[in-house]
Structure 1
Amino acid sequence: MKLHDGELDISADLVRGLLRRQFPRWAALSLTPVAAAGTDNVMFQLGEDLVIRLPRMPGSVATILKENRWLPWLAPQLPLAIPSPVGLGEPGEGYPLPWSISRWLPGNHDISDLSGAATALGDFVAALQRVEVVNDAPPAYRGGSYASWDDGVRAALRDLDVPGASHAWEAALRLPAWGGPPVWLHSDLLPPNLLAAGGQLHAVIDFGCAGVGDPACDLMPAWTVFDETTRPLFRARLTVDDASWERGRAWALAFGLAAWHYYEERNPPFAALGRRTVNQTLTNTASST
């Protein structure tokens, strides 16, 4: 299903043609669409051990190139598995964009051990923040200020009936800005980007939004993934001041409203994640330590 206006046509036949011309050693492997592909890329599992990702729109090309550049460098410094690129495809067969092949990470999105996941993901975020910020490190998608999302948030608030959300957003805009050095961020820690094995978190995927910036955006899973019981477990693994915690909640609120509003008809499960996130950010226990 196409999620965006102007999205490219991407079919299994197209992908098979790209493989035959550019990676013939893999062209005969089975090709299976991945139903839980993200909003930026179409995905196909290739054989048992590989996955192909093709940008839906030209604006997503930078994410593919970023992952191929930085994931091999980040992987040995992190406590959870992350994707491992093995090939970068070129435009061809009528498809105008670069595309990528990575090792397939097995698992699903059913994390039954939320307490364990809160601890593991907190340790992952802490480790990511300790990675050296080198001169050519890219800016994270959400590494700046959520105030840049103000127009989209206000459009969502006009169309959605969410008691308390407008007040929470106005309060977020009054929070002090981050004054510390930039750190490495995943910047898109949502349930679809977490993989579980046996109910336990074991991998983090989709680093297209990764880069450096304000650490607050990687506090988002406190509300996008966890609840009032497991949220404090996640925070306990990090060194977080109250202002940063509240900026993290603001990022989660902005994401939730935008996803709920934009994907309500295009991708109802993702819109439901947005709605659930908004509700979590508005609970009284959201800032508990």
Structure 2
Amino acid sequence: MKTSQLYLAGLAVSAIDGLNAVGVRPPYVRTDDFVTGGVLDSKGRHWIVKCPLNSTAATSLEAEAAIAPLLLEELRKGELPFDIVRPAGFASVSSGGRAIVYPEPFGTPTDFEAITLGEAREVGRALASIHMLGYDAIDHAGLPHYSAEEFRVRQLAELHDADQAATIPNLLRRRWEEALENTDLWQFEPVVLHGDVDSENFLWSGGTISAVLGFGSAHIGDPAVDIAPLLSLPEQTFDTVIESYENTRGEDIDGNTHTRAILLSELSVAKWLFYGIRTENDEVQREARNMLTDLAADVEADPNLQSGPSWDVNPS
């Protein structure tokens, strides 16, 4: 399908009555799932058009649109310390689903790997504020709500699906299955999750988080889901995020949550491989297989890692 900036501008005109587009502007970003571009109208307003490129992306975008007004209510009540996407209109696209058009949020993304310790505290506070939301925002939007046991069983089923599609190294499969079948590890209180914690979804201004985007994967489930993507941060940065998170929520992240975060981070590689197979993306498959090979080698080199993820990622 056409995904040029001019095409996106046309979608903006179609989505919003009376909008007179006079130009295109950054950002213009294309991924496997979305193409996103900026549009300038005759009144000097800046708009973002986000267009799905496949059915999975279209579903995610509809979820983000569904939860947006509910998050806005939480923002107005002072429960969220950052802005969110505010959908202004929609336009059907040839790939299926709808593009979403919204006023350009204030701020710019910053790679998590480069944030200061002060900014790390911001990330911790932002995640905690999401996890402290009531269930209503998710439930009213019709998004998934998993109990601890439902989430555990889901991860086990997804592992088996991935293993059937592409053989997972036996060492890793045994390690992951043992952790997933250890029900003591999966005792947690479900929380509202962002679901896609990534640098590109957090906008910054003056050292503070001005907006959080990408709520299309939001659901109720394991808090480890939102912690897992941060495990690659430098140790001091990660520790600062966790300390700020714990101070904001008023409760500690226990060792089991850290362990599940490690497990989910590792399982994401198998899921990435499964995605590459489903989409027939050879590059993704090669990348994922190489990552699995490297991980298996790391586990084989350390017998203490072979019986399931249990090492401390946040040593005192």
The TM-score range, normalised by the shorter chain, is: 0.7 to 0.9
Partner in structure 1 of residue 255 of structure 2 = 242
Asked if 1:19 corresponds to 2:46, the answer is no
Residue identity in the other structure for 1:184: V
Q: Based on CA coordinates, which of the two structures has the bigger radius of gyration?
A: 2
Q: How does 1:98-113 map to 2 (within 5 A)?
A: 98-105=98-105, 106-111=107-112, 112-113=114-115
- 1:54 Cα offset (Å): 1.0
What is residue 156 of structure 2 aligned with on the other side?
147
Structure-to-structure mapping, 1:96-245, within 5 angstroms: 96-105=96-105, 106-111=107-112, 112-134=114-136, 135-140=139-144, 144-145=151-152, 146-151=155-160, 154=163, 168-176=175-183, 178-197=186-205, 201-223=209-231, 226-236=233-243, 237-238=245-246, 239-245=252-258
Which whole-Å deviations, capped at 9, do the CAs of 1:188-211 have from their partners, x for residues lacking one?
112232233466644322111012
Conservation of the 8 A alpha-carbon contact between 1:115 and 1:233: yes
Give the Cα separation in 1 of the matches to 2:270 and 2:172: 9
More deviation in 109-118 or 227-236? Answer: 109-118
Q: Secondary structure at the match of 1:102?
A: strand
Q: Say if 1:234 and 1:32 are closer, same or farther in 2 by CA, change over 3 A.
A: same
State the distance in 2 between where 1:240 and 1:30 align: 48
Q: Which runs of 5+ in 2 are unaligned?
A: 247-251, 299-304
| Alignment-mate amino acid for residue 53 of structure 2 | R
The aligned counterpart of 1:4 is: none
Change (3 A) 1:58 1:28: same
Query: Contact 2:67–2:215 at 8 Å: present in 1 too?
Result: no
TM-score of the superposed pair, with normalisation by structure 2: 0.69
Distance 1:209 1:249 in 2: 20
Amino acid at match of 1:30: G
Indicate if the aligned counterparts of 1:142 and 1:209 stay in contact, CA closer than 8 A. no
Aligned pair in 2 of structure 1 residues 99, 257: CA closer, same or farther (>3 Å)? same
Q: Percent identity?
A: 20
**Deviation digits for residues 34-86 of structure 1, max 9, x if unmatched?**
4445543211112262211111112322322222222232241212333222x
Paired residues of 1:139 and 1:213 also in contact (CA < 8 A) = no
Aligned counterparts of 1:249 and 1:16: Cα–Cα separation in 2:
42
How many equivalent residue pairs? 273
Deviation at 1:101, TM superposition (A): 1.0
Shift of 1:140: 4.5
TM-score, length-normalised on structure 1? 0.74
Q: CA RMSD in A?
A: 3.9
Within 1, Cα distance between the matches of 2:195 and 2:146? 6
Secondary structure in 1 aligned to 2:192? Answer: strand
Distance 2:194 2:258 in 1: 16
Q: 1:118 to 1:260 in 2, by over 3 A?
A: farther
Could you say which residue in structure 2 is the equivalent of 1:288? 315
Q: Residues 80 and 255 (structure 1 numbering): CA distance in 2 closer, same or farther, change over 3 Å?
A: farther
The superposition leaves residues 112-158 of structure 1 with CA deviations (integer Å, 9 ceiling, x where unpaired) of 33423332222122211221112435445998333233146547985
**Aligned position for 2:48:** 51
Distance in 1 (alpha carbons) for counterparts of 2:58 and 2:15: 18
Q: Quick check: 95-104 or 51-60, which moved more?
A: 95-104
| 1:23-102 to 2 correspondences below 5 Å | 23-32=16-25, 34-47=27-40, 49-75=46-72, 76=75, 77-85=79-87, 87-91=88-92, 94=94, 96-102=96-102
Q: 2: distance between equivalents of 1:261 and 1:250?
A: 17
1:71 alignment partner, SS class: helix
1:254 is matched with which residue: 244, 267, 277?
267
Aligned AA for 2:257?
A: S
What is the CA-CA distance between 1:266 and the residue it aligns to?
4.8
Distance 1:155 1:253, change over 3 A: farther
Specify whether residues 140 and 185 from structure 1 end up closer, same or farther in structure 2 by C-alpha distance, changes over 3 A only.
farther
Q: Is the 8 A contact 2:11 2:99 kept in 1?
A: no
